[in-house]
Amino acid sequence: MPFRSFRLSIRFILPLAIALGMFAYAIVPLVDNLTLRWFVKDLDTRSQLLASALHEPLLDYIPEQDRKKIEQLFNRSVQDERLYAVAFCDPAGTLLYKTVTYPPTLGCRMLQNRNGRPQSLVQLPQGSLHVAQNTLESDTTRLGTLILVHDMSFIERRSADTRKYVISLFALLAVVISLITVFVAHLSWRGWISAVKGILRGDILPKGQSTAPPEVRPLVGDLKTLLHEMNIERRVQSDSPQLWTPDKLRSLLHEQLAGDEVLVVSNREPYIHVRTPQGADVRRPASGLVTAVEPVMRACSGTWIAHGSGSADRDTVDRNDRVPVPPARPSYTLRRVWLSREEEQGYYYGFANEGLWPLCHIAHVRPVFRSTDWEQYVAVNQRFADAVIAEARTDDPVVLVQDYHFALLPRMVSEVLPRATIITFWHIPWPNPESFGICPWREEILEGLLGSTILGFHTPFHCKNFIETVDRYLETRIEHEASTISYGGKLTQVEYYPISIAWPDDDDVDANTINVCRTEMRNALGVPPNHLLAIGVDRLDYTKGIIERFQAVERLLELHPELIGRFTMVQIAAPSRSSLDEYQNFEARVRALVQRINKRFSSAGYEPILFKAEHHDTDQVIRYYRAADVCTVTSLHDGMNLVAKEFIAARKDERGVLILSQFTGAARELHEALIVNPYHVEQSAEALYRALTMPDGEQRERMRGMRTRVKDNNVYRWAGHMLLDASRLRQRERIMTKIHSHSRNKSLRRVV
């Protein structure tokens, strides 16, 4: 801004100064002439007065021809510094008396100009002189002419001074007028720009104004039309009755964003190569993030940058650390970043999972913040940012940044690639400002995230918490209606995009297949065909409410002992972050609880809880979903929870009941689930009972509603909405830039 003002000033001041300079140059001779005339008039009057003063004594001395007295009188008179000489001529034109200073060349001739008029100014070698001739008469006799000669050099000096003042005055005027002009132009330019921005934001008129400024009015119509067209286009895209599909997402990316290039950054990689005695095996991690983003990447291609954490990861990459995936049918590139043990410890286990994770989840585990972890977090974010920059083939890629592991990366990337569209998605909840405030590096985290073009959360509540946190800790401009934050010249759209899953393409699955799956699972578990099964699928994490779930099972069996031996809770628990004390303690507590409950209710090979703390692949998990009567999601706090949606997607038979914690993002969409407060053990036990005894008709009705919703609000829609918003922002940014340069030229032209 200051630079632009400076350039504007130069562009205004120079021409104005030149114009005023030329004007001053033309006006100085006029001023000279005028002042000269004033001074000559002044000397005429002065000569008149002097002549009058000399008149009386001369009337006495001339007739007596008293030379001595006359010359004394004359010499006294010329003591006045401006009166240069005095002389007296008789009527015949003979010079009778004079001071020594009287120029001989003047003599007694009557001075006349070319037109024969008496001339008062003469130019002699000694300089300019003013000559005044006064006739001296006694009562009736003309005695002669008294000549008074004034030095004009002081007038020249004054005239030079006046010229100097006039020129300085004009120079000063030039500067003052230019500055006022620039100031006024600047104000009207800013008003103009803010009015246009207001229209683009949809305010139509800037706040507090009843009408748009007159200069903007001709544009309002055009801009409104443009915005309207953009909105219609967007609505058509997003609300199309057509299902969001990979194809639709792909074409959106290419048509709306002209984006040939999508880069994803996440900590967790979508495919992990692990060493086994049989060679390298590929695993899919238990990660909601991977479940959601992987289908998007399959649709869009591009490069996914992630931490190479598998034991055989290095063996499977090329010399650029890249590997094409999915292994069976590659459609995008996985670029692995290697971390040292210290880096992983500080950045992933330390800052991300002992600091930010408990900070953002209300699960009553105290966050731990260490400076050494923070240093690693900064360094690893920089390493991944460098990888993004290195992988980008263009200067405006679409970068999808995933989760709390990379809060600093958006700003790091945008500083090097300012034209990049950076969409950051925060997969976990965002706490209120007070809770977030305990993070010692809260400002840095917020600044880093505000390097994003779009910052996405699962729910409006998390967006609100984020905006309030920014408002509390940073100096920014927040537009609440538009949900944008402007910080350091960068505009970030904060929006909620409920994440989802790819709806399965399972034409071959029918109710019969599901029944077969149900029977096979019960056989495998060694229970009778009508045995009631509940399933829980989670990472072994203290936020998932696994303890509360088992307490609910215990209470269920207490309240409904008829279910003992007829009901089993199968808990799949994928090991997670197990090198952290908190997770080890949690696992120990879970195992102890399972043991206690199983001991309490077991009989002849029956145990009410089957705790399977090991990795399960996707197909195995789907088989459990299909075989179960109930799926339990009892997180104490969860951004979304995709297990709930995966269960629904797996139930093509429209059977099965979902028990869902009210503290998940999913509870805002899946109203037909049995919503519980997991801290209320009785309530959860009741919900379990209700689910296990729910009539088929009710199950179908509930499941049908949820299936329609999850199918429509699938992950392509999630990504599509973010990309549409990004494309809208990119378009808006382009229009702003155009208006900006257009308005500047226009206001300059108007002022000049």
Residue 391 or 638: the one with the smaller Cβ distance to ligand F6P is 638
Q: Does 428 bind ligand F6P (CB under 6 A)?
A: yes
The torsion angles phi and psi of 400, rounded to 5 degrees, stand at -105, 105
> Is residue 407 within 8 Å of 448, Cβ to Cβ?
yes
User: Among residues 150, 427, 544, 732, which is the contact residue for ligand F6P, using CB under 6 A?
Assistant: 427
> Could you tell me which residues come within 8 angstroms of residue 329 by beta carbon, excluding any fewer than 6 positions away?
none
Residue 267 or 333: the one with the smaller Cβ distance to ligand F6P is 267
Other Cβ atoms closer than 10 A to 528 = 10
Report, in Å, the least distance between residue 422 CB and ligand F6P.
18
Interaction residues for ligand F6P, span 688-717 (CB under 6 A)? none
Residue 223 or 352: the one with the smaller Cβ distance to ligand F6P is 352
Residue 61 or 406: the one with the smaller Cβ distance to ligand F6P is 406
Residue 349 or 369: the one with the smaller Cβ distance to ligand F6P is 349
* Residue 416 CB-half CA count within 13 A: 16
Q: Does 288 bind ligand F6P (CB under 6 A)?
A: yes
Pairing of strands 303-307, 332-337: parallel
Report, in Å, the least distance between residue 358 CB and ligand F6P.
13
> Is residue 316 within 8 Å of 323, Cβ to Cβ?
yes
Stated length of the chain? 752
Residue 144 or 350: the one with the smaller Cβ distance to ligand F6P is 350
What is the pattern of x (binds ligand F6P, CB under 6 A) and - over residues 514-543?
A: -------------------------x----
Interaction residues for ligand F6P, span 318-377 (CB under 6 A)? none
The torsion angles phi and psi of 297, rounded to 5 degrees, stand at -65, -35
Tokens standing for residue 663: 């503290």
Report, in Å, the least distance between residue 527 CB and ligand F6P.
31
Helices and strands in the chain: count of H runs, count of E runs: 22, 23
Residue whose pair of structure tokens reads 């585990």 in the numeric block: 365
Q: How far apart are CA 733 and CA 737, in angstroms?
A: 6
Q: How far apart are CA 154 and CA 147, in angstroms?
A: 20
DSSP string, 94-109: -EEEE-TTS-GGGTTP
Residue 136 or 640: the one with the smaller Cβ distance to ligand F6P is 640
Alpha carbon 418 to its chain's center: 11
Report, in Å, the least distance between residue 498 CB and ligand F6P.
14
Other Cβ atoms closer than 10 A to 358 = 18
Residue 244 or 348: the one with the smaller Cβ distance to ligand F6P is 348
Report, in Å, the least distance between residue 349 CB and ligand F6P.
9
The torsion angles phi and psi of 610, rounded to 5 degrees, stand at -105, 110
Report, in Å, the least distance between residue 226 CB and ligand F6P.
38
Report, in Å, the least distance between residue 263 CB and ligand F6P.
18
Please give the angle made by the CA atoms of 531, 538 and 608, to the nearest 5 degrees: 30
Amino acid at 257: L
Residue 406 or 601: the one with the smaller Cβ distance to ligand F6P is 406
Amino acid at 714: N
Q: Does 500 bind ligand F6P (CB under 6 A)?
A: no
Report, in Å, the least distance between residue 287 CB and ligand F6P.
3
> Is residue 478 within 8 Å of 471, Cβ to Cβ?
yes
Interaxial angle between packed helices 2-64 and 715-751, expressed in degrees from 0 to 180 and rounded to the nearest 10? 10
DSSP-assigned letter for residue 696: H
> Is residue 706 within 8 Å of 503, Cβ to Cβ?
no
Residue 9 or 465: the one with the smaller Cβ distance to ligand F6P is 465
- Compute CA distances 179 → 173, 174, 489, 751, whole Å: 10, 9, 26, 12
User: Among residues 47, 256, 287, 684, which is the contact residue for ligand F6P, using CB under 6 A?
Assistant: 287
Alpha carbon 403 to its chain's center: 19
Q: How far apart are CA 142 and CA 584, in angstroms?
A: 135
Residue 268 or 721: the one with the smaller Cβ distance to ligand F6P is 268
Q: Does 289 bind ligand F6P (CB under 6 A)?
A: yes
Residue 145 or 266: the one with the smaller Cβ distance to ligand F6P is 266
User: Among residues 576, 661, 727, 731, which is the contact residue for ligand F6P, using CB under 6 A?
Assistant: 576
DSSP-assigned letter for residue 404: G
Other Cβ atoms closer than 10 A to 385 = 27
Report, in Å, the least distance between residue 427 CB and ligand F6P.
4
Q: Does 268 bind ligand F6P (CB under 6 A)?
A: yes
The interface region with ligand F6P, picked from 288-296, 314-322, 324-332, 671-679 by CB under 6 A, is: 288-296
Edge-first strand listing for the sheet containing 121-124: 95-98, 83-89, 142-151, 127-137, 121-124
Residue 267 or 414: the one with the smaller Cβ distance to ligand F6P is 267
Q: Does 307 bind ligand F6P (CB under 6 A)?
A: no
Q: Considering CB under 6 A, how many residues would be counted as binding ligand F6P?
A: 12
Q: Does 608 bind ligand F6P (CB under 6 A)?
A: no
Report, in Å, the least distance between residue 744 CB and ligand F6P.
45
Residue 237 or 576: the one with the smaller Cβ distance to ligand F6P is 576
The interface region with ligand F6P, picked from 214-222, 284-292, 389-397, 606-614 by CB under 6 A, is: 284-292
Q: Does 186 bind ligand F6P (CB under 6 A)?
A: no
Report, in Å, the least distance between residue 184 CB and ligand F6P.
54
Residue whose pair of structure tokens reads 């910080």 in the numeric block: 487
**Torsion sign across C-alpha atoms 115, 116, 119, 121:** positive
Report, in Å, the least distance between residue 541 CB and ligand F6P.
8
Residue 267 or 661: the one with the smaller Cβ distance to ligand F6P is 267
Residue whose pair of structure tokens reads 């303690």 in the numeric block: 585
Residue 189 or 436: the one with the smaller Cβ distance to ligand F6P is 436
The interface region with ligand F6P, picked from 142-150, 273-281, 286-294, 598-606 by CB under 6 A, is: 286-294
DSSP string, 713-734: T-HHHHHHHHHHHHHHHHHHHH
Report, in Å, the least distance between residue 738 CB and ligand F6P.
39
Q: How far apart are CA 175 and CA 178, in angstroms?
A: 5
Q: Does 637 bind ligand F6P (CB under 6 A)?
A: no
Report, in Å, the least distance between residue 297 CB and ligand F6P.
14
DSSP string, 505-531: --TT--HHHHHHHHHHHHHHHT--TT-
The residue number whose beta carbon is nearest to ligand F6P equals: 287
Other Cβ atoms closer than 10 A to 386 = 15
The interface region with ligand F6P, picked from 103-111, 236-244, 246-254, 281-289 by CB under 6 A, is: 281-289
> Is residue 283 within 8 Å of 313, Cβ to Cβ?
no
Residue 576 or 713: the one with the smaller Cβ distance to ligand F6P is 576
Please give the angle made by the CA atoms of 538, 543 and 547, to the nearest 5 degrees: 75
Report, in Å, the least distance between residue 357 CB and ligand F6P.
8
Report, in Å, the least distance between residue 240 CB and ligand F6P.
29
The interface region with ligand F6P, picked from 27-35, 220-228, 282-290, 740-748 by CB under 6 A, is: 282-290
Q: Does 309 bind ligand F6P (CB under 6 A)?
A: no
Q: How far apart are CA 543 and CA 553, in angstroms?
A: 18
Alpha carbon 444 to its chain's center: 15
First-last CA distance in the chain: 21
Q: Does 403 bind ligand F6P (CB under 6 A)?
A: yes
The interface region with ligand F6P, picked from 51-59, 208-216, 285-293, 435-443 by CB under 6 A, is: 285-293
Query: Which residues of this chain interact with ligand F6P, rule CB under 6 A?
Result: 267-268, 287-290, 403, 427-428, 539, 576-577
